[in-house]
Amino acid sequence: MPLERKQYPDIAPAGPTYYRAVIAGNMMFISGCTARGTDSQGKSMMEQLDVTLGRLVAVAAAEGAGAGSFAKITCFVTNIADYQADRDKLQGLFAKHFQEKYPANSLIEITALAEPGLDVEIEAVVVLD
């Protein structure tokens, strides 16, 4: 099965040494997305989360997949306490972007992300229709 390597520069620009997504059959693997290059970079984690989830859903939509097609996400955050500080807002953002069809989700605290002002990065696995 050939792999299809994809970039989505207008949705979620990727770096020069990786693709935003790789499609293998009906599986789409989306590289870690952040709020990099947006007005949310350097702002609150919830603002970054909103942009990041929006980017992920938009990338999947570009391939015809809906929010309910996300099988798994992995969230990397620089501070779990800050991430979970406002549970209502956190849950509201997930409900907004996934339309309450939640994927499996792992949460991992890390020391830092690739650029200053980035506190949330999420990678995803999507099942394409």
Span 84-115, pLDDT tens digits: 999 999 999 999 999 989 999 999 999 999 99
The pTM assigned to this predicted structure is 0.96
Of the candidates 38, 42, 46, 103, which has an alpha carbon nearest to the alpha carbon of residue 70? Answer: 103
pLDDT value of position 129: 83
Q: Is 7 helix (H, G, I), strand (E, B) or coil?
A: coil
pLDDT value of position 82: 94
Span 13-23, pLDDT tens digits: 998 999 999 99
Q: All domains of the chain, ordered by start, with CATH?
A: 3-127 (3.30.1330.40)
Average pLDDT, the chain: 96
Task: Determine which helix (DSSP H) or strand (DSSP E) holds 4, and give its type and residue range.
Answer: strand 3-6
| CB-CB neighbours of 81 under 10 Å | 8
More reliable by pLDDT, 100 or 6: 6
Q: How many residues does the chain have?
A: 129
In this predicted structure, the answer to whether residue 1 has a pLDDT above a threshold of 90 is: no
Q: Give 122's DSSP letter.
A: E
Give 76's pLDDT tier (boundaries 50, 70, 90).
Answer: very high
